[in-house]
Amino acid sequence: MLIIYIAGFIVCMGLALGLTPLVKKFAIKIGATDVPNARKVHTKIMPRLGGLAIFLAFVLGLLAVLPIIPYEFTPREVNFIKALLCGGGLIVLIGALDDRFELSAKVKLLGQIIAACIVVFGFGITVDFVNIPFNNTYSSLESWIAIPLTIFWIVGVTNAVNLIDGLDGLAAGVSGIAIATIAAMAFVMGNTMVAMLCLLLLGSIIGFLFFNFHPAKIFMGDTGSLFLGFCLALLALLGFKQIAVVSFITPLLIIGVPLSDTFFAIVRRKLQKKPIFAPDKGHLHHCLRELGFSHRQTVLIIYGIAAFFGILAVIQSSAALYEANWVTFVVICIMLFFLQIGAEITGLIGKTKRPVINFFLRMRMKANPERGSKS
């Protein structure tokens, strides 16, 4: 079966390599292009809609692989695949319309909610349990909690990936790293269906990255960032639903880069008294560029951060396997501390918002008053 999955990965990568130039020509023909402005880093008109190549490569690869898999999926797994395709198809349509006509944020949000509702009400996919920390047990959720929680998760993660799509290859690479992490964990846990979907999607992303990494020849646009966010929302959370040793924090770690960037963006805009959905140049990639890193260096640094989150996810799930929940607690505390320090150094919250660093500086001055007065 592994050979079939590897073959599917190669097929999807080849399809993305072949389809992306065609999608590029199509985007230029219909006017789905990205015009430079003060908030963006590129300086010339670029074709968007590249996510359509990822979606088509993934779907065609899936249709090619499904008939030859020597494994019968359960009804739940079949519903999961259908939910991913139907909801993902709607998300791609919304993204494509935005890449061409620039839809309002409210219209896009409504479309994302409808796609999430298709997953929940159309195919019965919900988060119906929560992990009880330090107890290795799970508690069932009532539907009135499970349904809005699932919709909130899908919409939130979908937008989180969309928000980090600001540099060549950034959103695609970060998503690819997260999906590769999920694939590795799914293989270890024997979750065949999730592993298959992850490998097919990863192949599609890598094929597209040949044209999207700096200097990019095409952008994925909202078509790609929304679709990858939607896929991550389902695969990162629901993919481990049947695995009792994985706690709720694992999917949060897997998609740590887009979620943390989104969280700091919300805090930053609230402090600046701006609307939550108002675009700005305060995201992680913007801050790293302001610190003097090149376009490619910035992307590679964020790739490294995404890989770090992936490693934390593996450590956390391994600790849960051996019921060492104290390890999870320590890892999360350390991660949150360094996230805050990193945000303050790079200016994610704001150029003057450095409460933790200022606290340590004050403590240092109190401990060494003579040195503080000299400086």
Dump pLDDT digits (tens) for 342-371.
777 777 766 666 777 777 777 777 777 665
Provide the number of structural domains found in the chain.
Answer: 1
Neighbouring CB atoms inside 10 A of 250's CB total 25
Residue 360, number of CB atoms within 10 A of its CB: 12
User: Tokens 């130039």 identify what position?
Assistant: 21
Q: Which helix (H) or strand (E) holds 48?
A: none
Q: Rounded to two decimals, what is the model's pTM?
A: 0.84
Residue 243 confidence class, pLDDT cut points 50, 70, 90: very low
- Average the pLDDT over each of 134-138, 271-275, 308-312, 336-340 and give the range with the smallest value: 134-138
Please tell me the distance from the alpha carbon of residue 193 to that of residue 327, in angstroms, as a whole number: 29
- Residue 159 token pair: 């937008």
50, two tokens: 């590249």
Confidence band, pLDDT 50/70/90 cuts, at residue 244: very low
- C-alpha 254/C-alpha 175 separation (Å) is 9
What is the residue range of 354's domain? 2-374
Q: Residues in the chain, how many?
A: 375
Q: List the end-to-end C-alpha distance of the chain, in Å, as a whole number.
A: 65
DSSP assigned state of 238: G
CA–CA distance, 236 with 160 (Å, rounded to integer) = 14
* Cβ(59)–Cβ(85) below 8 Å: yes
Rounded Cα–Cα distance for residues 289 and 142 (Å) = 46
Predicted local confidence at residue 323, as pLDDT: 53
Mean pLDDT check: name the lowest of 12-16, 174-178, 191-195.
191-195
Q: Is residue 132 pLDDT above 70, yes or no?
A: no
Q: 126: pLDDT confidence band, cut at 50, 70 and 90? A: confident
> In this structure, how many other beta carbons lie within 10 angstroms of the beta carbon of residue 169?
27
Q: Do residues 20 and 218 make contact, with C-beta atoms less than 8 angstroms apart? A: yes
